[in-house]
């Protein structure tokens, strides 16, 4: 995949000492988002657009409602006649055109969604009327709501009903259907390559031996990529062999728009991975971020793909995907992603001993309207996310959150 229209950042004067400097999360996030690449556009059947991003405004081709219609089952009549006995002159079903005009002390039995007959200016709800005799009714209240939906009161022909950059949800598909836009223009979905590294990693269907663990990261990332609307492309487990890992990385760069490697990016393993990334001509823009979990998160650019080295611990890889990879994917699809945040009071005191990094703490939303930290033993504790509803950010230098203090919860 080529990106001829994108200038690839080069930093030949960057020394390894500079590279290994831990940078603030905001700076790392800015670098990632500035590196986005456009992917091209395509028209697809509207029924398949869930999670896709609109690449053009959607305009209504008609008035909605397309005609003045009843908002209730009842009787269409003139409001000035509601105190009189009314003659029922016809029945109007939904989808049927009225045949008669409503005159003085006349009404038409009408169904919800049916066209209002000429002469009528209100609909009496059926439950508020009584039948006096055959084809004669009496309204039992003093006044009535109009109970009419007027032509074009929701949307006018030519109105923009969905804007460019909209991430399509089920309700948006209904809007596309209502205006007849059955082949909307959307951004192409990025292909995301996923690679796990390490001799200790085995696939989930394998019983781990001594000093082995099952590969949870890759399948967690596959699910996260699917949820964002991109296309996961799993490349398997790369053994701790420079030659084998290099081959897998090069193959992933050829096939994908973004490549995610998990593991092998801590300071103990980084030299090995760094040599592979350098050999693959990936220009690393940062490799240490002042955030917890996720300090060794690495990011680089290649002429064919963008590359993340995510931590091997599952909570760290999950969180850094949510913080950096997810917004980048949406940006590449033409959307400015904004996470769902809610403000709630802390349900207990929380303290930490180290504060040199920004921290993301998994929390639960409680029935009493407070936020409580989940049991969390560190970035390897994947089960901590089982009960987590969101993350709260603890700023650099901050060591305590007091009970009752309002915190911002980023939902996950």
Structural contact between residues 92 and 115, judged by C-beta atoms closer than 8 angstroms = yes
Residue range(s) of every CATH 3.40.980.10 domain in the chain: 16-40+189-332
16-40+189-332 CATH? 3.40.980.10
Q: Which CATH superfamily is domain 43-62+158-186 in?
A: Molybdopterin biosynthesis moea protein, domain 2 (3.90.105.10)
Element (H, E) at 16: helix 16-19
Q: Compute the distance between CA of residue 350 and CA of residue 372 in angstroms, rounded to an integer.
A: 9
Structural contact between residues 51 and 228, judged by C-beta atoms closer than 8 angstroms = yes
Using 50, 70 and 90 to split pLDDT, how confident is the model at 15? very low
Using 50, 70 and 90 to split pLDDT, how confident is the model at 198? confident
Using 50, 70 and 90 to split pLDDT, how confident is the model at 165? very high
Q: Compute the distance between CA of residue 43 and CA of residue 51 in angstroms, rounded to an integer.
A: 14
Average pLDDT, the chain: 91
Residue 19: pLDDT above 70?
Answer: no
pLDDT the model gives residue 270: 43
Q: Compute the distance between CA of residue 210 and CA of residue 283 in angstroms, rounded to an integer.
A: 37
> Comparing C-alpha atoms, which of 98, 135, 103, 133 is closest to residue 116?
98
Using 50, 70 and 90 to split pLDDT, how confident is the model at 11? very low
User: What are the backbone dihedrals phi and psi of residue 384, each rounded to the nearest 5 degrees, phi first?
Assistant: -60, -30
pLDDT tens digits along 277-329: 889 999 999 999 999 999 999 999 999 999 999 998 899 999 999 999 999 99
Q: Compute the distance between CA of residue 309 and CA of residue 114 in angstroms, rounded to an integer.
A: 60
Residue range(s) of every CATH 2.40.340.10 domain in the chain: 341-411
Architecture of domain 69-149: Beta Complex (2.170)
pLDDT tens digits along 225-281: 999 999 999 999 987 778 888 999 999 999 999 999 998 766 554 456 777 888 999
How far, CA to CA in Å, does 71 sit from each of 110, 111, 128, 194, 273? 10, 8, 15, 52, 65
Q: What is the mean pLDDT of residues 36-65?
A: 96
Using 50, 70 and 90 to split pLDDT, how confident is the model at 223? very high
341-411 CATH? 2.40.340.10
Buried b (16+ CB within 10 A) or exposed e, 91-101: ebeeeeebeee
Buried b (16+ CB within 10 A) or exposed e, 373-392: bbebeebebeebbeebbbbb
Q: What is the mean pLDDT of residues 32-54?
A: 96
Residue range(s) of every CATH 3.90.105.10 domain in the chain: 43-62+158-186
Structural contact between residues 306 and 258, judged by C-beta atoms closer than 8 angstroms = yes
pLDDT the model gives residue 241: 78
Residue 10: pLDDT above 70?
Answer: no
Q: Compute the distance between CA of residue 300 and CA of residue 19 in angstroms, rounded to an integer.
A: 11
Q: Which residues pair with 306 in a beta bridge?
A: 258, 301
How far, CA to CA in Å, does 262 sit from each of 45, 281, 296, 326, 400? 35, 19, 11, 16, 31
Specify the pTM. 0.85
Structural contact between residues 382 and 316, judged by C-beta atoms closer than 8 angstroms = no
């Amino acid at each position: 995949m080529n990106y001829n229209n994108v200038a690839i950042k080069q930093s030949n004067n960057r020394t390894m000492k500079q590279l290994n400097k831990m940078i603030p999360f905001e700076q790392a996030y800015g670098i990632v988002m500035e590196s986005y690449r456009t992917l091209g556009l395509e028209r697809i059947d509207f029924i398949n657009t869930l999670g896709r991003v609109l690449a053009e405004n959607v305009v209504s081709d008609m008035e909605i409602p397309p005609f003045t219609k009843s908002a209730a089952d009842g009787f269409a009549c003139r409001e000035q006649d509601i105190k009189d006995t009314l003659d029922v002159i016809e029945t109007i079903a939904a989808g049927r055109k009225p045949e008669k005009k409503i005159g003085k002390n006349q009404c038409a039995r009408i169904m919800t969604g049916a066209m209002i007959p000429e002469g009528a200016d209100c609909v009496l709800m059926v439950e508020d009327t009584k039948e006096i005799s055959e084809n004669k009714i009496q309204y039992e209240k003093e006044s009535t709501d109009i109970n009419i939906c007027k032509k074009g009161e929701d949307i006018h022909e030519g109105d923009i009903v969905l804007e460019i950059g909209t991430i399509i949800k089920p309700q948006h598909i209904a809007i596309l259907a209502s205006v007849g836009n059955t082949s909307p223009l959307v951004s192409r979905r990025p292909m995301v390559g996923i690679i796990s590294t390490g001799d200790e990693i085995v696939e989930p269907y394998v019983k781990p031996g001594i000093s082995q663990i099952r590969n949870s990261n890759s399948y967690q990332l596959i699910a996260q990529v699917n949820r964002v609307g991109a296309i996961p492309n799993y490349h398997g487990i790369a053994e701790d062999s420079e030659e084998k890992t290099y081959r897998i990385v090069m193959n992933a760069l050829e096939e994908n728009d973004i490549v995610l490697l998990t593991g092998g990016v801590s300071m103990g393993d980084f030299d090995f991975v760094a040599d592979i990334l350098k050999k693959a001509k990936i220009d690393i823009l940062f490799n240490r971020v002042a955030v917890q979990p996720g300090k060794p998160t690495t990011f680089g650019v290649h002429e064919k793909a963008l590359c993340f080295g995510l931590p091997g611990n599952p909570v760290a890889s999950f969180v850094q995907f949510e913080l950096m990879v997810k917004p980048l994917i949406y940006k590449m699809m033409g959307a400015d992603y904004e996470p769902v945040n809610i403000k709630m009071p802390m349900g207990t005191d929380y303290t930490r001993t180290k504060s040199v990094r920004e921290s993301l703490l998994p929390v639960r939303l409680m029935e009493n309207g407070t936020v409580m930290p989940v049991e969390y033993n560190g970035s390897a504790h994947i089960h901590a996310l089982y009960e987590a509803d969101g993350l709260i950010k603890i700023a650099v230098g901050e060591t305590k959150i007091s009970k009752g203090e309002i915190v911002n919860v980023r939902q996950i």
